[in-house]
Chain A
Amino acid sequence: SAVISQKPSRDICQRGTSLTIQCQVDSQVTMMFWYRQQPGQSLTLIATANQGSEATYESGFVIDKFPISRPNLTFSTLTVSNMSPEDSSIYLCSVERSTEAFFGQGTRLTVV
């Protein structure tokens, strides 16, 4: 298995501000994945973060809105920029180990 620590676990933010979410993994991984789960919806992949290269974004997600850092093989951050109420979601980071996906506990974001 993999131990993934995500911070913060929840936050309430004012619209127009930005929030950076941190994800720490207990051992080195090549790729880290960031997902969004909007209220009542399932998970959608935002981007894949590789160490040493720019993140790869899925259709509908852009770097200016969701900048990602991947400074080393155990850590990544996702920033939600210029937030609006529509960004209220649970954001989750994920890694794969022996072909199995593992998830952090998520960050519950509410934008007011």
Chain B
Amino acid sequence: QKEVEQDPGPLSVPEGAIVSLNCTYSNSAFQYFMWYRQYSRKGPELLMYTYSSGNKEDGRFTAQVDKSSKYISLFIRDSQPSDSATYLCAMALTGGGNKLTFGTGTQLKVEL
């Protein structure tokens, strides 16, 4: 079993839809939770970062962490074609340095 599970998709939605992306994990010691966006032939770009449990909002993006359920989510409101990319969840331990554990990524396509 992988430490971090993520549905690879692909997920196709119409423009303006609310998108929900999710990851589950098995290591209860993870404290830092991130969402990265990766366009084709590019490196991952940090979108959202959350420490421990709770919600964080940034513009059209909302990240949620539920440590009791070992479940994290990313919501995208009013989705745009430019949001079409692969979304990677990532997690880190306290004192883990730069060692992130990534999910496999969910491929999202937002259609006109």
B is a partner of A? no
Interface, chain A (partner B; CB < 8 A): none
